[in-house]
Amino acid sequence: MGRGVPPDSRPPLGPLVLLVLLAAVLPSPAAGVNVAAVLAAFPNFSDFLRLLTSSPVAGELTGRSSLTLLAVPNANLPRSPSAFAAASGADLADVLRYHVLLEYLSPSDLARLPASGKLVTTLFQTTGRAPSDLGAVNLTSSAAGGHSSTVVVHSPAPSFPGSNATVLGAVTREPYNISVLAVGGLIVPSGFDIAASGSESRPAVNITRVLADARGFNVAASMLEASGVADDFEADERGAGITVFVPTDDAFAAGGLPDAAGRLQSLPADRKAVVLRFHVLHSYYPLGSLESIVNPVQPTLATECTEAGRFTLNITRSNGSVAIDTGVVQASITRTVFDQNPVAVFAVSKVLLPKEMFGQGNTASAAAAAAPPAAMAPDASDDGPTPPTKLSSPPVWATARGANWSCIGFVYLQLHLLLLLLLLLLPLV
């Protein structure tokens, strides 16, 4: 009589197969949020989307999930968001970070707000620049638990009043990944007056004086002084800081393209100012940070005056140094001129010429590329926010409801498949 394998010695494959099939059927954890893709479907938020993508904030959301974005409709944005933020001593990027809540909140969550409100941490709190817990927002309802309640977003500290805004309605959501709520205006965090008063004892860095003391930057210093661009740096220094790439006098002499120096000097004043702003990042990056930068494509001050994805620099580490690619010019950092938080100044080997103005076929359209869109152009007569307007809710909410029914149908189908697999595998278990 041959020896067979005892029936009870066979490995129990049923549970293992069940786990494998469950892993295949159940949805995978949520990936990072692509804010640009989410907001791109809503044209009435195009200006707010451009502010996000022309700042470092959009890149900082990569890899994050379970967020709530407080988006401002085009009609409710101030004429000049940068000036609006600077008037409160704030940096525009930090103001935008204050609109990213690190918690998923659906309209039903807002309807269940307690009478005392709900404190929610924002992306701004993670920077370490927010005094105490003033990087959070407090969501309060005028009639907690009621269906017709009005939700207001404001500072958690009544003694340090920042700006506030009313939630106009839900725009769209991907359950438990991202929820987009429309608010009636930009919200400036409170406490910037404290930071500003603390920084008054430290005078702003005079970039032209730094270049004069360093020597070898006469051309750049004179161009900055004559254009008035250097005066714009002071407000930026008080926010997230600035990083300035300054061509040496030899770099201006060498140019970078045939007769590039002559073409640059012959530009009208407004277009020359765009090229100068193209040499500045709207954040403080010491050399070590540039060498290990996560997102190589960086917006510049010139990006803020145009549209997302234009006038950017590609910064990478190459052959032991930091390389900067504009699309038409490849330069490198040759030395550190000045580095004291929140200002870093680096010498570069070539004049950084933007492809939007000096690329092949772009010469004729350079003026159009350099001019800021009319919707975002500064207006001296009205630099405050326009009165809030109501959203056209039905089309937006209809889109959100359609997406929700699709998600419910998908989950319902998965449950049926799971039940079928359980019935098929039950004899094996």
pLDDT score for 397: 36
- Using the 3D structure, point to which of 333, 357, 381 is the last residue of a domain: 357
Instruction: Indicate if 228 and 128 belong to the same structural domain.
Output: no
Q: Which of 49, 68, 193 lies closest to 139, judged by CA?
A: 68
Phi and psi angles of residue 416, each rounded to the nearest 5 degrees, phi first: -65, -45
pLDDT score for 365: 40
Distance between CA atoms of 162 and 334, rounded to whole angstroms?
43
Instruction: Indicate if 224 and 343 belong to the same structural domain.
Output: yes
Segments forming the whole domain that contains residue 253? 207-357
- Encode 314-327 in three state secondary structure: EEEEECCEEEEECC
Q: Please report whether residue 125 resides in a domain.
A: yes
Instruction: Indicate if 239 and 317 belong to the same structural domain.
Output: yes
- Averaged in consecutive runs of 10 residues, what is the pLDDT profile of the chain (429 residues)? 49 49 46 80 92 87 88 87 71 90 92 89 85 83 59 74 79 93 87 46 74 87 86 66 90 66 77 91 82 80 78 89 92 89 88 87 45 36 38 37 48 64 64
Number of domains comprising the chain: 2
Contact (Cβ atoms closer than 8 angstroms) between residue 242 and residue 233 = yes
Contact (Cβ atoms closer than 8 angstroms) between residue 360 and residue 151 = no
CATH number of the domain within which 323 lies: 2.30.180.10
Q: Where are the alpha helices (DSSP H) in 292-365?
A: 355-358
Count of H-run helices and E-run strands, the chain: 18, 14
Q: Which of 312, 355, 315 lies closest to 333, judged by CA?
A: 315
Instruction: List Cα–Cα distances, 61 to 69, 126, 310, 328, 343, in angstroms.
Output: 11, 12, 20, 29, 24
Phi and psi angles of residue 297, each rounded to the nearest 5 degrees, phi first: -85, 110
pLDDT score for 87: 67
Phi and psi angles of residue 407, each rounded to the nearest 5 degrees, phi first: -65, -40
**Tokens at 322, concatenated:** 């930091």
Q: Please report whether residue 325 resides in a domain.
A: yes
pLDDT score for 147: 46
Q: Which residue has the tokens 């910037």?
A: 192
Distance between CA atoms of 166 and 153, rounded to whole angstroms?
6
Q: Please report whether residue 428 resides in a domain.
A: no
Specify the DSSP element, H or E, that contains 37: helix 35-39
> DSSP secondary-structure letter at 331?
E
Distance between CA atoms of 263 and 351, rounded to whole angstroms?
12
Q: Please report whether residue 382 resides in a domain.
A: no
Instruction: Indicate if 270 and 168 belong to the same structural domain.
Output: no
The amino acid occupying position 156 is: P
pLDDT score for 294: 67
Q: Please report whether residue 394 resides in a domain.
A: no
Neighbours of 263 (CB within 10 A): 16
Contact (Cβ atoms closer than 8 angstroms) between residue 223 and residue 272 = yes
Q: Please report whether residue 236 resides in a domain.
A: yes
Distance between CA atoms of 44 and 75, rounded to whole angstroms?
8
pLDDT score for 53: 87
Cis peptide bond prior to 354, omega within 30° of 0: no
Put the strands of the sheet holding 330-340 in their side by side order. 280-281, 242-247, 343-348, 330-340, 321-325, 312-318, 297-299
